[in-house]
Amino acid sequence: MQKTLTAIALTALLPLLSAQAANAELKLYGGGHFQGSGKAVAEAFAKKSGTAASYTPGNTGGGAFARKVKAGEQMDVIVMTTDDMANQVKAGLIRGDSVVNFARDGMGIAVLKGAPKPDVSTPEKLKAALLAAKAVGMQDPDPAHHSGVIVHQILEKLGVVDEMAKKTVIITDATSALEAGKVDLSIWSLPEILGQARAKVDLAGPVPMAVNGYTDESVGILTNAQNPKEAEDFVRFITSADGRAVWTKTGMEPMPKSGD
């Protein structure tokens, strides 16, 4: 009799579990340099896995992520810089055992769409292009601005910090100063140049690898994720060959192997 009741209970429960699985929607969040990839990655995951997935862009740096969690914004999995991810693991907002450092991205040189593109293919040619420009846009090198610090390091490697101080225009995006004619070139995140800004600006080229600075990106699952299994599936996807095929199109590149 007990076995019969158990079987009946399980039979009644299975449709409910199936319905919950069918209704699961993975909520992916990510800002910064991942914004050009997020929507396409979520769509590719949904197609591959059969799990509905949505992507929400937004600021993840500083205290922005913690404020969103505190406000009750629902997220299952997030992509952010490796440093920010480590801080959120310490804060107990991200599962430490779920974190994977999967990609990195560097900086690029943007020009106004239709304007001549300088040759920036080598450190020497990039240096010459910067010195020839009347004004160059770059982010504030204050430590609170990650990309701005990286750009300052690039200028140090090129040996042009003092010269560029005279022609630097602090910018907050890759396009506005170029459109306004305030700068000839912008040094900005390569994925963002290739993604959001491409309709208004052209890519002159990536900063050469020898002097480029990189931002490492990590993926992790929130401790309060409502769809933890689907989130684990997503982490496996974004680090797989199928996932890489999507986000490498936007200027992100796989983490170099040890020793590279």
Tokens, residue 238: 């974004």
Low pLDDT (below 50) residues in the chain: 5-7, 9-10, 13-14, 16-21
Rounded to 5 degrees, φ, ψ at 246 are -85, -55
DSSP 157-213: HHT-HHHHHTTEEE-SSSSHHHHTTS-SEEEEEHHHHHTTTTTTEEEEEEPPTTT--
pTM (predicted TM-score)? 0.80
Q: What CATH number matches the domain at 107-206, 3.30.1280.10, 3.30.390.50, 3.60.21.10, 3.40.190.10? A: 3.40.190.10
- Return the DSSP state at 117: P
pLDDT at 56: 94
Closest among 221, 231, 239, 243 to 24, alpha carbons compared = 231
**What pLDDT, on a 0 to 100 scale, did the predictor assign at position 78?**
97
Separation CA 202–CA 199 (nearest Å): 8
- Axis crossing angle, helix 38-49 with helix 228-238, rounded to the nearest 10: 110
Which residues make up the CATH 3.40.190.10 domain(s) of the chain?
A: 24-104+216-254, 107-206
Q: What is residue 2's predicted lDDT score, i.e. its pLDDT? A: 54
State pLDDT tens for residues 104-143.
Answer: 999 999 999 999 999 999 999 999 999 999 999 999 877 6
Instruction: Specify the pLDDT at position 19.
Output: 41
- Domain 24-104+216-254: CATH superfamily, name plus number: Periplasmic binding protein-like II (3.40.190.10)
